[in-house]
Amino acid sequence: MRRQPLAAAPVLPAALAFFAAITLPAAAQGPAISGTMESSAAASLGAGASPAFSLGFEEYANLRLKAKAGERGTVHAALNLVAASGSLAPPEAALAAVEAASAAGIGVSFDGNWRGRLWEKWSDDPGAILRRIVGRASILFGNHRDASLLLGREFSGDGESRRRAAALALLEEYPSLRYVASTARRIVGATDHRIAARVDARDCFAATAEIRIEPIRDRVGTGDAFAAGVLDAIWQGSGPEGAARSGLALAALKHGVRGDFAPFPRSITDATLFQASDVLR
């Protein structure tokens, strides 16, 4: 394998299930976007010798995109985000959605936003649920900690070597996976963070240089912004290098916006010009 240095610039109660229909149009034009967002909550109170109280919340967002793709017709894409807690989100619902998408030939991405304390109150074996979802996914957003949970073993080493080993282990365990994408955050101060991104495939990976984010207005949603940037790049036909750069750019820009959204057009993220510092093939 050969390393090519490039110019470097300075699910459920415990997880966000991030499902995306992924297509790769050559030149989509005139996109029309529509969507919905729903919130729900429910509570129940038991009675008798052992009263029980259950409270659940669920947030659901659906984004739909329709665009012309040159002479080839119309491209449709759907993006669904589900965040749930309590006893109102049976894993079978998420599993059924993943299996239906997979059976229809639709690419599935999964973002394992791990929340250990929530899982402790809900399931004694979260890995069993997550493994079934990841087994149908083509893109996984996760790092070595997610790999440890899914594979039942720890990864030695530090930094990039550990992340690469974890990604390769995931790609070997789950044949449907094409990419594993992740970020590494180093906190210097309350408003001074350093972030790097990488995207791993079986035969290569791309890792960006660490960049400085200062000042920080709101870091909530930066992981979602990273995922959106990666998915957009892959949709446009980019490989690991372009996906890592796009994901990092959108995540970096999101730090300057209050609220869990990143309203930046592709022209802005492209102009950010974060580049992958290393590509291994």
**Overall number of domains in the chain:** 1
Residue 50 lies in a domain: no
Residue 47 lies in a domain: no
Residue 46 lies in a domain: no
Residue 225 lies in a domain: yes
Q: Which amino acid is at 275?
A: Q
Q: What is the pTM of this model?
A: 0.69
Residue 239 lies in a domain: yes
Q: Give the chain's residues under pLDDT 50.
A: 1-29, 44-58, 60, 75-76, 78, 81, 83-88, 276, 278-281
Q: Which amino acid is at 241?
A: E
Task: Measure the CA–CA gap between 78 and 94, rounded to whole angstroms.
Answer: 15
Q: Buried b / exposed e across 71-84, counting CB within 10 Å, b at 16+?
A: eeeebebebbbbbb
Residue 39 makes CB contacts below 8 A (sequence gap 6+) with 57, 58, 59, 60
Q: Residues 50-103: pLDDT tens digits?
A: 434 444 444 545 555 555 555 655 544 545 545 444 444 567 777 888 888 888
For residue 71, the domain's CATH number is: 3.40.1190.20
Residue 48 lies in a domain: no
CA 86 to chain centre: 22
Residue 251 lies in a domain: yes
Specify the pLDDT at position 246: 93
Q: Which domain holds residue 77?
A: 3-41+55-280
**Could you say which DSSP state residue 7 is in?**
P
Residue 133 lies in a domain: yes
Residue 208 makes CB contacts below 8 A (sequence gap 6+) with 8, 9, 196, 197, 198, 244, 245, 248, 274, 275, 276, 277
Tokens of 63: 């984004």
Which residue from 104, 105, 89, 100 is spatially nearest to 16, judged by alpha carbons? Answer: 89
> Which residue, chain included where needed, has tokens 């820009």?
253
Half-sphere exposure of 20 (CA within 13 A, CB side): 22
